[in-house]
A and B are shown apart, each in its own frame.
Chain A
Amino acid sequence: MFGAFLYLRATSLRNQVVHRLGRLRQPKYLLGALFAGAYFYFFVIRRVSGVGAAAALAPGTAQTAGMLAAGFICAVLCLIGLLRVAYAWIAPPEKAGLVFTEAEIAFLFPAPITRKALIHFRLLSTQLAILFSAALITIVFNRSGYLGGHRVLHAVGWWIILSTIDLHVNGTNLMLSRLRERSAHFLLWRMAAVAAIILYVAAVYLAASGLADSFLNGTGGMSDRADRLVRHLHDSAALYWLTLPFRIVLGPYLATGYREFAVAIFPALAVVALHYLWVSSTEARFEEGSIAIAEKRAAMRAAVQRGESPRIGGSKLKALAGPFPLPPRGLPEVAFLWKNLLSLRSAVFGRRTLVIALGVAGWVYFAMKPVMRLRSNSGQANAIGVFVLMGCGIVAAYTLILGPQIARQDLRNDLPNADLLKTFPLEGWRLALGELLAPTAILTAIIWLTIIGAAAALDPGGALAWLTPVVRGTVVLCLALAAPLLCMIQLIVPNLVMILMPAWYQSSRSRSAGVEMFGQRLLFGVVQLLFALLVAVPAAGAAVLVYIASYWLLGISTGVVLATVAVVLILAGEAAVGLWFLGERFEKFDLSGDTR
């Protein structure tokens, strides 16, 4: 069995490498590989081999920064683990199973192999991926720059963490499958498990509630306060026992030297071994669930290859009412908005989204509550304002640059229906406009939220005399006016790439892995960024000139309004040209052309 497994993996790996090297003969893959190589060299390898980030900081500051960074990473990891397990208990699949490919099922399930051997096969398969991930994470994050220690030890730490998560998820799936088969009180078991998780989170929160106070309100510098925080963690018996399982697993990763690592590794390995025993000894029928998972994954892959959303192949959709009534007469563009918003609601708002959103909201609330209380009490509202302002700026920038790659409820998702679209009695630009309305609305809504958030957070103490309510309101309205145009222009880019370079686009959106694919996606991201700058330069230039020319005579508010008029006119012109060109190219787009 082990020999067969090794043969399968080694042969597959060799063939995969040969195939990937072979396809470098095509320019699109070669360019992607070169681009990815340059990225790894300049941003990863040089960083790893160069001086660590901590060297630029004072020793105490570096240690504090390292502690805080490690603490944050650990908290996020624990949260993800808890959410993942909670979701499995709250919404278990109808048939819980282990992940096998369709080919593995076809060959291994009918083969004379025990169920336990199949579990071992699955665990070994995952181990290869986990080892690779551990090495990659270690290289990319370069954590040793902050906390010292050797990179190999950190890689081992990551291996422990990832293996434990994988084993725990598999164990939970098998346990659920077993309970569903054999227990008449499946629902009660699930409710008990969820209640236990909630109780656990509540207990940790209560035990840790004083920590933020001692850190934020404490005297001394950051380094002293961080020291006190760590001591508090050690001294609190309740917290010690509550977080012990997580601390054991995270121990090797957090070890700062060989001695600490040697102390931490054995308990961590024991946890992994216990998990392994749990998984391998759980008698559960996972075959049906595994087949369902494999079919679902295959359908998702096929959907992506057909150019559809992976969700379409992945899970059962629900019929929903339209986002608004659609009268049969009126602008046909609105029909596309209606249709694409409907598809967005069906695709995004599922049970999983709700659980994730609740989890994140809860985490943000509990994490921010003490900070907000302390800040407002100490009159440091401006500090929070800057924090919120930065957050809004980052979200807005990501929405503009990465948003168009994620919000795809436009021509890109409708490519499989292009036959139908092309028979519609519409000019190309109208079809393009209609298709882009929904993602534009989504991205605009996010940016409007960030504008409102930033406006509320800017100078809450009222220190800036010129920032009157009128000026604040004017700026908000003007930014809100420009936002939809900017979003639409940004969305034209990926749609145009799809029409102009269908072969590039198809290969970049397929889920196939590889350095060259990474490079291709990176290249698209860079093109998007450059385009954003290109369209922003004339508008920004005009805005500055108009504002400078007008605000001395007419005041800030009028200056902002006039500058916005200039910006909106320029962006509208750019959007119109882009839409016309996109529509014109779509009309001439030859669907029978090569997209592979």
Chain B
Amino acid sequence: MIEVEALTKQYGSFTAVSGLSLTVRPGEVLGLVGPNGAGKTTTLRCLAGIIPSTSGSVRIAGHDLAADPVGAKRALAFFPDEPRLFDYLTVRQHLNFVARIYGVADYEERSRPLLEELELAEKADVLPGELSRGMKQKLVIACGLLHSPTVMFFDEPLTGLDPLGIRRMKDSIVRRAKEGASVILSSHLLHLLQEVCTNVLILKKGVKVADGTLAEVEAQFSNGEANVSLEEIFIRATGGSES
């Protein structure tokens, strides 16, 4: 469960996110969309406890992120758009390291199917420098999933993945949501949102302009027209330009 109340993030006089409130229940996948610079990545980083918010409250799996950051972080996983890995640790050593941080006693049993699923088993003993970008992305995903998080944040999760990887990633997100995870997914790929998300939140200049199920958001911006595409809705909601 993700509960956000009046989240605001300011950089000096610039407000990146303003008064954002949202709730993602177990089993829901929220698609976070908006033009470039709308505040999507800032929002995700605030929710994952990477950067401090200026005001507002965030609760992750029942833990207040400000008061109990450790408890909150134990339940979440953040998947950045750019895979950042430890250059000197092999794939297997990354999993070993993360297992120790999260205290995953049975990590070897857990990591085996994960590596198989993400097609990393054959690369288990190589360093990140020898992996393609897509493979690095998969390793980040494997590390994030190792402790079975109940809250997941994906920032452009399909970047760098091949078609098969994209399909597996989508299936994986949907499956984990069905198993009870709360997911927020930020992406420019509107078809991904249509396929994966149960809810959509549109941000513009750090302010929420639409929030609800896909059907609700469609209804809000379709102006009574039938068969309006999500792309058209997005353009209407955001004014068709960058923030």
Contact = CB atoms under 8 A, between A and B. Distances in A.
B190 interface: no
Contacts of A478: none
Contact of B88 (A342, A422, A590): A342
Interface in B92-138: 93, 96-97, 99-108, 125-127, 129
Given A339-B97, A587-B69, A419 B84 contact: yes
A562 to B, nearest CB: 38
Interface in B77-91: 77-78, 80, 84-90
A427 B69 CA distance: 8
B97 A335 contact: yes
Interface residues of A, number: 41
Nearest to A327: B100
Interface stretch (A191-199, A312-320, A441-449): A312-320
A419 B45 contact: yes
Contact of A420 (B84, B104, B125): B84
Given A423-B78, A591-B50, A319 B100 contact: no
A308 interface: yes
Contacts of B96: 322, 326, 328
The contact size tier of chain B is 35 or more
B74, B85, B97, B107, most chain A CB atoms within 10 A: B97
A137 B122 CA distance: 54
B93 A322 contact: yes
A424 interface: yes
Contacts of B108: 328
Contacts of A322: 93, 96
A343 B70 contact: no
Contact of B105 (A320, A328, A342, A590): A328
Given A317-B88, A338-B97, A417-B84, A329 B50 contact: no
A592 B42 contact: yes
B87 A319 contact: no
A27 interface: no
B70 A328 contact: no
B26 interface: no
A416 interface: yes
Contacts of A339: 86, 88-89, 93, 97
Interface in B32-76: 42, 45, 48-52, 69-74, 76
A570 B11 CA distance: 39
A328 B104 contact: yes
Contacts of B99: 328
Contacts of B127: 317-319
Interface string A298-332: 00000000001100100011111010001111101
A34 interface: no
Contacts of A588: 52
Given A317-B129, A416-B84, A425 B100 contact: no
Nearest to A414: B86
A420 B89 CA distance: 15
B126 A317 contact: no
Given A347-B88, A591-B50, A332 B126 contact: no
Contacts of A419: 45, 50, 78, 80, 84
B68 to A, nearest CB: 10
A109 to B, nearest CB: 27
Contacts of A128: none
Nearest to B83: A420
Nearest to A426: B70
A426 B103 CA distance: 11
A346 interface: yes
Contact of A342 (B48, B69, B70, B93): B93
Contacts of A328: 96, 99-100, 103-108
A334 interface: yes
Given A328-B106, A422-B50, 15 more contacts: A317-B88, A319-B125, A329-B105, A334-B100, A335-B100, A335-B101, A339-B93, A342-B89, A346-B87, A416-B84, A419-B78, A424-B101, A590-B51, A591-B45, A591-B50
12 contacts: A308-B87, A317-B127, A326-B100, A328-B100, A328-B107, A339-B97, A343-B87, A425-B70, A425-B72, A426-B101, A590-B52, A592-B45
- Give the 6 A-B residue pairs with the shortest CB-CB distance, closest first: A335-B100, A343-B88, A425-B74, A425-B73, A328-B99, A346-B88
Interface of A: 308-309, 312, 316-320, 322, 326-330, 332, 334-335, 338-339, 342-343, 346-347, 414, 416-420, 422-427, 587-588, 590-593
